[in-house]
A and B are shown apart, each in its own frame.
Chain A
C-alpha cells in the first residue's frame, strides 16, 4: 500500500523560540502539544499515538499521563537527531493509515541552547568499546569534534569539484535572514544581513563562517496527524501527507560519511527524493516552495541537486540567480530557516511547510499546492511532501 494522501496534519502548535526558555522541556512539550490539539479541535484524551526523535528527552508516556490519554497504542522515537525530523510524520502516517492509531501527536521539545549546546565540541567520549566511542574515536583525539567541522570537510570538496564558493554559501544565509527579518517568530526578526556581513563574519571552521551556521535555540513544536477522512470534519484546512520517507545510503555514517567514492552528494537524500516523488506522483516542477534543512549552508546545495531542482553541481548557478530567495522560482526556508528563525532540529521547518499549505505563512508563497520539507543532512535522513489535495 501507499501511504500517500491517507493522512493529514490537522493541528499545529509551538512555543516561542529563544536562547533560554526558562522552563522545562516537558513544559515546552506540553505547551506545544496542547496548542496543536486546540488548533485541531481535538480533546487531549483522544490522542492514542506519539512519535518524536532522538536527543529529545521528553518521554511520550509523561505527555500521555499529563494529557489524560486513555489508550495509547502507538509510540516511536526515530534516531539520528535532525536527520529524523520528518521521520515521526512518516511513522504517524503509517500508524494512522494502517489503523494502528487514530490520532498521533508528533513533537519536538528541547532546551538545546540553554541546556546542551551541540556546538561546543565536548561530548564526553571515552576509550570504551561502545560503538559510538570507537566510531568517533577516529576524530575526537585530533580535535575534529564539531558538526561545523564535519560538514566543512564535505563543503571543501564540493567547492573543489564544482567551483562553488563561500560566497555561494553566503547567498543561502542572506536569503534565510531576509525571510527571518519579516517573521516576528524568528530570533533574527528585523535583522537582515548582506553578503558583506557574511564575508566579514569569523571563521568557525574553514570553509564555514559564523553566518553559515544555524542558531542554537530553545523551543518546542508539535503537530497532530489523523486520517484524511476525519481531517475533512475538523476546523483547519487539511494538510495532506502525500509523501514521507527515511533514507540510509551506501557508505552511510552519522556526519562522517567521508569514505564514499564521492562525498559531494547526499545519496541518502537522493533515496528519499526518489521515494517521495514515487509516493506522491509529483515532479520537482510541481513543488512551489521547500524547506531544506539548513543547519549549515553548504549542505543546502546538494539538496537542491538531489531533489532535481537543478543538475548535479549546478546549485551554485541556482543560488546566484536567486531562485532560492524571496520572489525566486523556488523560495526556500520562508520562515527564515534554522539560520534565521530557530534551531528546533527541523521541526519548525515542518511547521512552516504546514503553514505554506494552509496559506498562513508570514512569507506566504503564491498558489502553494505542494511543499517539500527535508531533515538533517550528513546523517541518516528523512523528508516529506505536504499538499493541499490528497494524492491520487
Chain B
C-alpha cells in the first residue's frame, strides 16, 4: 500500500487485458513498397516476388519493423476497423491526468518478433497494462512510468491464431516542473508545434493589424500633409505631424524587387519561399510572402494582387499573388 489511495486504485488494474484492435488491411505489397521507399530499404525479399521465391520463405514477407504499422488507425485518431474493441488501453493515463499528471513523453518503444508475416495475413493485437511504477522525479517533472505490452497475432481460419511479435511501449506520465509541455494525444511524445512568429503590435501600428483582421490593407496617411507612409510610425516622416489616419489600399501592385528563400529551412515555412517587395498602386512599398508564381516566373514589374491568408495560431497575413494565377 502507498500513502496515495488513488495510486493504489490505479495499480490495482495492472494486469488488465484489453480486446483486439484489428489492422485495416491485410498484409499487402503496396504498403510494404511505400514503407520501404520511405525508409530507404531495398532488400528484394520485401519487394521482388521472383527473388523471394528463391529464399527459405518462398514468398514475399513484410519487414518485421512494420509490425506496428499494420494496426495503426490511420489519418483519423481512434478510427479503428470494425470488430475492434471499444475499450481504451490508455485509460490508465487518463486516470493520472485527474491527479495533475497531465503531460506525457514516450520513453521506450521496443519491438520483438516471433516470426515473419507474409502477404495476405490479417493481423490484430491485444494490449495488457504491464506495469505502473512508483513515483519518480526526472528532469522533465515528477510522475510515473507506465508500461503497456501489445501482442500481435495473425488471424487463422481454424481459430488457432498465431502470435507473431510484440511491442513494449513505455511512457512517462508526469507533472512538469514548470509550465506544461503542449500535448498531442495520450500516447504520443509531446512535441510543441512551431508556428509563424506573430508581428509586434504597438499603439503605432495597431490600426494596420486590426485592418488585416477586417480584411483591409491599411496605409498610414498624414492628416496634415496627406503623405502616405509604410511602415507606419507615431509621426509623419515628412512633416512630423502626429495627426495620422489611414486609407485602405486597392490591393493592386507590382514587384519592385523579390528574393526566394532557400536555406536555412526554418519551420513552419515551405521552401523555396518567395518574398516580394511590392510597390502598391498608392505608391508605398510593402514586404510580404508571394504566391502563384511558377519556378523562374518571378520578375521585377510583375503585377500582383492582395490576398489574406490565415495561419494556425490566430494569425492572418496580407500577402500578394500573381495576377491571373
**A135 at interface by CB-CB < 8 Å:** yes
Determine how close the nearest CB of chain A comes to the CB of B263; give it in whole angstroms: 5
**B260 at interface by CB-CB < 8 Å:** yes
**B178 at interface by CB-CB < 8 Å:** no
Q: Is the CB of B264 within 8 A of A119?
A: yes
Partner-contacting stretch, out of B5-13, B116-124, B142-150, B284-292: B284-292
The residues of A that contact B289 with a CB separation of less than 8 Å are 142-144
The residues of A that contact B287 with a CB separation of less than 8 Å are 138-139, 142, 144, 153, 256, 258
The residues of B that contact A327 with a CB separation of less than 8 Å are none
The residues of B that contact A184 with a CB separation of less than 8 Å are none
CA gap between A101 and B259 in the complex, in Å = 47
The residues of B that contact A258 with a CB separation of less than 8 Å are 257, 277, 285, 287
The residues of B that contact A157 with a CB separation of less than 8 Å are 256-257, 277, 300
Interface residues on A, range: 35 or more
Per a CB cutoff under 8 Å, which of B198, B231, B285 touches A126? B198
Partner-contacting stretch, out of A107-115, A199-207, A332-340: A199-207
Q: Which of B280-325 contact A (CB under 8 A)?
A: 284-289, 300, 315, 317, 319
- Interface flags for B257-283 (1: CB within 8 Å of A; 0: not) read 111111110100100110101000000
The residues of B that contact A133 with a CB separation of less than 8 Å are 199-200
Determine how close the nearest CB of chain B comes to the CB of A343; give it in whole angstroms: 16
Q: Which of B204, B261, B266, B269 is most buried by chain A, counting CB atoms within 10 A of its CB?
A: B261
Question: Residue of A at shortest CB range from B230?
Answer: A259
Determine how close the nearest CB of chain A comes to the CB of B200; give it in whole angstroms: 3
Interface residues on B, range: 35 or more
Given contacts A143-B273, A156-B258, A203-B260, contact A259 B200 (CB under 8 A): no
Determine how close the nearest CB of chain B comes to the CB of A227; give it in whole angstroms: 42
**A130 at interface by CB-CB < 8 Å:** yes
The residues of A that contact B285 with a CB separation of less than 8 Å are 258-259
Per a CB cutoff under 8 Å, which of B199, B231, B257 touches A160? B257
The residues of A that contact B198 with a CB separation of less than 8 Å are 126-127, 137, 141
**B201 at interface by CB-CB < 8 Å:** yes
The residues of A that contact B199 with a CB separation of less than 8 Å are 127, 133-134, 137-138, 140-141
Per a CB cutoff under 8 Å, which of B196, B201, B230, B258 touches A129? B201
**A281 at interface by CB-CB < 8 Å:** no
**A61 at interface by CB-CB < 8 Å:** no
The residues of B that contact A206 with a CB separation of less than 8 Å are 259-260, 262, 272
Given contacts A139-B287, A153-B277, A259-B230, contact A134 B201 (CB under 8 A): yes
Question: Residue of B at shortest CB range from A213?
Answer: B263
Q: Is the CB of B262 within 8 A of A204?
A: yes
Q: Is the CB of B200 within 8 A of A134?
A: yes
Q: Is the CB of B319 within 8 A of A142?
A: yes
**A17 at interface by CB-CB < 8 Å:** no
CA gap between A127 and B266 in the complex, in Å = 19
**A318 at interface by CB-CB < 8 Å:** no
**A169 at interface by CB-CB < 8 Å:** no
Per a CB cutoff under 8 Å, which of A128, A160, A204 touches B263? A204
Q: Is the CB of A153 within 8 A of B260?
A: no
Given contacts A202-B263, A258-B285, contact A141 B275 (CB under 8 A): no
**B55 at interface by CB-CB < 8 Å:** no
20 residue pairs A–B, Cβ–Cβ below 8 Å: A119-B264, A122-B266, A126-B197, A137-B205, A138-B286, A138-B287, A141-B198, A142-B275, A143-B289, A144-B287, A146-B264, A153-B259, A157-B277, A203-B260, A203-B272, A205-B261, A205-B262, A206-B272, A258-B285, A263-B277
Q: Which residues of B contact A (CB under 8 A)?
A: 196-205, 230-231, 256-264, 266, 269, 272-273, 275, 277, 284-289, 300, 315, 317, 319
| Contacts A156-B258, A157-B256, A203-B272 supplied; 12 other A-B pairs, CB < 8 Å | A120-B264, A139-B287, A141-B198, A141-B199, A141-B315, A142-B287, A144-B261, A149-B259, A154-B257, A202-B262, A207-B259, A258-B257
- Of all A-B residue pairs in the complex, the 5 with the closest CB atoms, nearest first, are A133-B200, A137-B199, A129-B202, A143-B269, A127-B198
